[in-house]
Amino acid sequence: MSLLYTDEQKALIALVKEMAENEIKPHVQELDEKGECPKDLFKWAFDMGLHMLEIPEEYGGTGLSYETTAMIFEELAKVDAGYAITLVTTFVALRNVILSGTPEQGKYFADIIGKGNFAAFALTEPNAGSDPAALRGTAVKDGDDYILNAAKTFITNGEIAALFVGFFKTDPAAGHKGISAFIVDADAAGITIGKHENKMGLRLSNTTDVTFENVRVPASSMVGPEGSGFKLALNALNLSRAFVATMAVGIMQRALDESVKYAKERKQFGQPIIKFQMVQQMLADMAIKTEASRVLVNNTMRMMDNGSLVRKEGSITKTFVSDCAQEVTSNAVQIFGGYGYSKEYPVEKLMRDCKIFQIFEGANQIQRLTIANELEREYK
């Protein structure tokens, strides 16, 4: 691997690898088939503190850098990216409440998550995916409360979350400037969880519709000033985009590991297939794309550790890495031949798992729009 790791980082990566290989990996194939992940299996992650790694110590977290946290999540994603994203979604929601909310809101959120609970981030609606300004969900002031109404869709952790960070229009006429964010307890009256999405990949990750019907929350649960929800969502997405990229690197590394091993074992025409130049080229290209992606992610993480918002860099990273992951995982299946296409072998799952990385946290087309807009500004 290409990065310079400190002794501490090496020790943490080894610890997480040991846990994930022993406790999670044996269940992955069956859970992928079923499309679920029991809460019990997250006991390991909660005990270890993987849901609070980069949360500051005053909020009960471990206070790790983004850089080290990313290395740990790459390792977890090698075993299963759906497992990893359940935790990432949780801490990104918490991190954003800490960044944009009051200290009391941060404390409230952190205490609940710290006990071993999940959080969800509810932005997308059926008619507002790439274009969140088109949100229809509303938050209407009523005395000291707000009344929330919205149909949210594709919500990661929807069914298992104890807390939501939800986005609603406080001023429906005002486009994205009319969006405000709220902390909502999952057991609040009026919340219904819809069906669990039967997905192509990332099947250990829970994805559901969440409907808010006249959900009453105190005005004090608004995060940040009224109308600042869109900005908050963008900040949150900057952070989660970088972490999504690190998980894609994990998937790629797994694809490479499996492929090299297989290519050395599988014999055709009287020799291991790794001896064929065309197979060698695929493997070399897989290694090139994986290494380059890892370095790019690492640089973005270090920029975030230094306080940069990585608006452009995060988009570049997520887009490059998730595009590379398609080729790398597809070639893993190619190297395995017919066996790669079979569910008996681990690589077809990697191909299914990694497709979503081009779509969520802002589709790659939208990332390219962002990058181009930033370029236009920079060269003014």
Ligand X SMILES: Cc1cc2nc3c(=O)[nH]c(=O)nc-3n(C[C@H](O)[C@H](O)[C@H](O)COP(=O)(O)OP(=O)(O)OC[C@H]3O[C@@H](n4cnc5c(N)ncnc54)[C@H](O)[C@@H]3O)c2cc1C
State the catalytic residues. 361
Kindly state whether residue 236 participates in binding another protein, applying the rule CB under 8 A.
no
247 binds ligand X (CB under 6 A): no
Of the listed pieces 3-11, 77-85, 180-188, 356-364, which binds another protein according to CB under 8 A?
3-11
* CB-nearer residue toward ligand X: 176 or 199: 199
Partner touching 326 among ligand X, another protein, none, CB below 5 to 8 Å by kind: none
Binding residue (CB under 6 A) for ligand X from 59, 73, 146, 154 = 154
Nearer to another protein, 18 or 131 (CB): 18
287-292 long-range contacts, CB within 8 A, separation 24+: 287/256, 289/252, 289/324, 289/327, 289/328, 290/249, 290/252, 290/253, 290/256, 290/324, 290/328, 291/1, 291/2, 292/320, 292/324
Does position 11 interact with another protein (CB under 8 A)? The reply is yes
> What character string, x for contact with another protein (CB under 8 A) and - otherwise, covers 16-35?
x-xx----------------
User: Contact 67/3 with Cβ under 8 angstroms?
Assistant: no
Convert 41-59 to b/e letters by CB count within 10 Å (16 or more is b).
bbebbbebebbbbbbeeeb
Residue at token pair 């990065």 = 3
Q: Which is nearer to another protein, 48 or 193 (CB)?
A: 48
**Count of chain residues binding another protein (CB under 8 A):** 17
Applying CB under 8 A, the span of 6-14, 113-121, 284-292, 358-366 interacting with another protein comes to 6-14
355: tokens are: 């497709």
> 202 — alpha (psi -120 to 50), left (phi > 0) or beta?
left
Choose the contact partner of 99 out of another protein, ligand X, none; CB within 5 to 8 A by kind: none
List the single partner that 123 binds among ligand X, another protein, none, CB under 5 to 8 Å by kind: ligand X
Task: Report in angstroms how near the CB of residue 237 gets to ligand X at its nearest.
Answer: 9
Question: At a CB cut-off of 8 Å and minimum separation 6, what does 273 contact?
Answer: 263, 266, 267, 279, 335
Identify which of residues 306 and 373 has a Cβ nearer to ligand X in the complex: 373
Residue 114 CB, shortest distance to another protein, in Å, is 12
Which position has the token pair 């608006």? 311
- Give the Cβ contact number of residue 147 at 10 Å: 17
Q: Which amino acid is located at 314 in the chain?
A: G
- Spatial distance between the Cα atoms of 321 and 244, rounded to a whole number of angstroms: 9
Determine if 234 is a binding residue for ligand X (CB under 6 A). no
Determine if residue 92 is left, alpha or beta; phi over 0 gives left, psi from -120 to 50 gives alpha, anything else beta. Answer: alpha
Would you say 37 or 71 has its CB closer to another protein? 71
Q: Return the residues of window 113-132 that contact ligand X according to CB under 6 A.
A: 121-124, 129-130
> Phi then psi for 150, rounded to 5 degrees?
-170, 150
Q: Rg of the chain's alpha carbons, rounded to an integer? A: 21
Asked if 366 interacts with ligand X (CB under 6 A), we say: yes
38-57 mask for another protein (x: CB under 8 A)? ------x--xxxx--x----
Spatial separation of the C-alpha atoms in residues 346 and 143, rounded to whole Å:
56
Distance CA(312)–CA(238), nearest Å, equals 9
Q: Can residue 87 be called a binding residue for another protein (CB under 8 A)? A: no
One-letter identity of residue 178: G
363 binds ligand X (CB under 6 A): yes
Closest to ligand X by CB, 86 vs 290, is 86
Residue from 72, 191, 239, 324 binding another protein (CB under 8 A):
72
CA distance 94 to 90: 6
Binding site for ligand X (CB under 6 A): 89, 121-124, 129-130, 154-156, 199, 202, 207, 356, 359-360, 362-363, 365-366
Residues in touch with another protein (CB under 8 A):
7-8, 11-12, 15-16, 18-19, 44, 47-50, 53, 62, 64, 72
